[in-house]
């Protein structure tokens, strides 16, 4: 989608629709006030007549063809003026776009919703809301009834161009991630994920190394090999790198890349297997982040690691009671083959630690226990650095991606203590998200590490906020924003 800056002279503009904002109790934005004045109070009169209150995500339209250069006003509620926050702008813009689609309009102009309250970055959040809500995974659909909106006019001046670009990069990275996550297991297998990474690296100027089975054996990545050995489609390990010459910091991001998870020999029940194409959401998030980083070009090194495998119950599949010895010397008893994500992440964490980064962030649809604890809309945070946890949480408030810290409770380490090996790959049903994080911690040799359990919000079975059913792209926008902040990347310079 293209965004066109058209300045602020409303009377000189024309088109099918103009989107304006209204707060609770019919408090108008400056642009809405200007329109109401031009219409001699007819806007307020209309809203009172239909009992429109300005509630968030409530949107109406008003025909104004004979009174303005637009056919319609799209009026979107912003909620309480004093409680306006970034995600409310995304929601309001998404609600307005939905109304535009219902009316089958194009040539639409948006005012900069909420800018009089929240400043220049409001336009970034509006752009994100529009792009995220405009997303549909239609590749395999024969018919598409909805109007395709290819451009949006923005009622802002050119000096705010950078905030618009940031919004575009963040949302497009999330949508790129969503496309990959939504692809089924017969389309994206470990080798396909590797080929996507290779193509992406060539397109945007990243370095890319892919480890096949021989290289995985040479590097003693026994977790990835074990999980992938039951599938006809062999596993891979992918290393993408962005290395600018003047980088002062080095970061490693890791994404779990189980392209389909049947559970292995501990096979999943039908209702839990259906959406398991989404078990590669962490890996796809790495690809989305690296794509954006290559375009944004911050002055920091970023390495994206993806351990990729398909977990299947074939004749060569790994078994309960197997023992795997990892490169760092730790031995792991397999108690459940459906706790496979932590095994491939263990290899990646060892590899990441060898890169001597300032911070490691891993992202994984790791545990159903995290969904039980926090619900479907919140990711769990585990970290050995309280300040890092706070940073991610605060950025999440801006991006609208929710995170909640859970403890690395050392008392629960007894749960994963092995009988015949050092540790086992699963504890009891109690504190399952915590014991999974404690397992990962055994393979981290970095002062600053954070594990994001995105099992809940990475993939939704019904629409929520500005997301349709399917992949959301969580936590792409948060991790990207954090990386840019750490690199002192200028917003709105």
> Is there a catalytic annotation at residue 342?
yes
The maximal CA–CA distance of the chain, rounded, in angstroms, is 82
CB-count burial class (<10 Å; 0-12, 13-18, 19+) for 205: exposed
Identify the active-site residue in 67, 268, 327, 441.
268
Q: Do residues 291 and 341 make contact, with C-beta atoms less than 8 angstroms apart?
A: no
CA pair distance 164, 214, nearest whole angstrom? 45
189 closest CA partner among 240, 225, 140, 236: 236
**Other residues' Cβ atoms within 10 Å of the Cβ of residue 320:** 14
CA pair distance 460, 378, nearest whole angstrom? 12
Identify the active-site residue in 342, 402, 424, 477.
342
- Compute the C-alpha angle 322/325/331, nearest 5°: 80
CA pair distance 363, 280, nearest whole angstrom? 10
> Is there a catalytic annotation at residue 397?
no
Beta strands in 429-490 (DSSP E): 449-453, 459-460, 470-471
**Other residues' Cβ atoms within 10 Å of the Cβ of residue 69:** 13
| Cα dihedral 480, 347, 185, 140 in deg (nearest 10) | 20
CA pair distance 206, 174, nearest whole angstrom? 19
The 3-class secondary structure across 35-81, one letter per residue, is: HHHHCCCHHHHHHHHCCCCCCCCCEEEEECCCCCCEEEEEEEECCCH
Catalogue the active-site residues: 268, 342
């Amino acid at each position: 989608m293209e965004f066109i800056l058209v300045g602020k002279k409303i009377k000189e503009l024309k088109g099918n629709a103009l989107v304006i904002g209204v707060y609770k109790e019919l408090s108008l934005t400056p642009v809405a006030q200007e329109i109401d004045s031009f219409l001699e109070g007819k806007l307020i009169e209309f809203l009172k007549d239909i009992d429109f209150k300005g509630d968030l995500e409530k949107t109406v339209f008003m025909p104004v063809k004979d009174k303005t250069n637009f056919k319609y006003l799209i009026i979107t509620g912003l909620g309480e003026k004093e409680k306006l926050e970034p995600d409310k702008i995304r929601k309001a813009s998404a609600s307005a776009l939905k109304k535009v689609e219902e009316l089958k309009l194009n040539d639409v102009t948006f005012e900069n919703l909420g800018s009089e309250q929240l400043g220049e970055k409001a336009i970034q959040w509006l752009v994100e809301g529009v792009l995220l809500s405009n997303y549909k995974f239609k590749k395999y659909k024969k018919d598409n009834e909805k109007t395709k909106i290819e451009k949006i006019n923005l009622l802002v001046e050119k000096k705010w161009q950078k905030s618009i670009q940031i919004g575009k990069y963040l949302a497009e990275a999330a949508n790129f991630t969503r496309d990959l996550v939504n692809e089924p297991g017969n389309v994206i297998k470990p080798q396909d994920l590797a080929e996507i990474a290779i193509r992406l690296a060539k397109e945007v100027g990243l370095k890319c190394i892919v480890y096949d089975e021989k290289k995985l054996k040479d590097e003693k990545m026994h977790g990835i090999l074990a999980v992938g050995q039951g599938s006809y489609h062999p596993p891979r390990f992918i290393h993408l790198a962005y290395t600018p010459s003047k980088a002062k910091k080095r970061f490693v991001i890791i994404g779990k890349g189980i392209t389909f998870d049947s559970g292995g020999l501990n096979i999943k029940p039908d209702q839990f297997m259906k959406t398991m194409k989404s078990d590669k959401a962490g890996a796809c998030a790495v690809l989305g982040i690296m794509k954006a980083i290559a375009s944004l070009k911050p002055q920091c090194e970023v390495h994206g690691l993806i351990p990729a495998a398909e977990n299947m119950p074939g004749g060569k599949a790994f078994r309960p009671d197997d023992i795997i010895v990892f490169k760092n010397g730790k031995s792991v008893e397999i108690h459940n083959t459906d706790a496979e994500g932590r095994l491939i992440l263990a290899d990646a964490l060892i590899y990441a630690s060898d890169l001597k980064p300032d911070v490691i962030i891993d992202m994984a649809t790791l545990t159903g226990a995290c969904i039980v604890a926090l619900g479907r809309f919140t990711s769990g945070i585990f970290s050995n650095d309280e300040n890092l946890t706070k940073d991610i949480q605060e950025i999440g408030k801006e991006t609208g991606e929710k995170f909640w810290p859970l403890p690395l409770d050392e008392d629960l380490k007894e749960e994963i203590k092995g009988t015949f090996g050092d540790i086992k790959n699963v504890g009891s049903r109690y504190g399952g998200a915590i014991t999974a994080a404690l397992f990962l911690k055994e393979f981290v040799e970095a002062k600053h590490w954070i594990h994001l359990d995105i099992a809940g919000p990475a993939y939704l079975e019904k629409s929520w906020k500005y997301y349709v059913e399917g992949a959301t792209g969580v936590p792409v926008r948060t991790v990207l924003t954090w990386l840019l902040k750490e690199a002192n990347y200028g917003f709105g310079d």
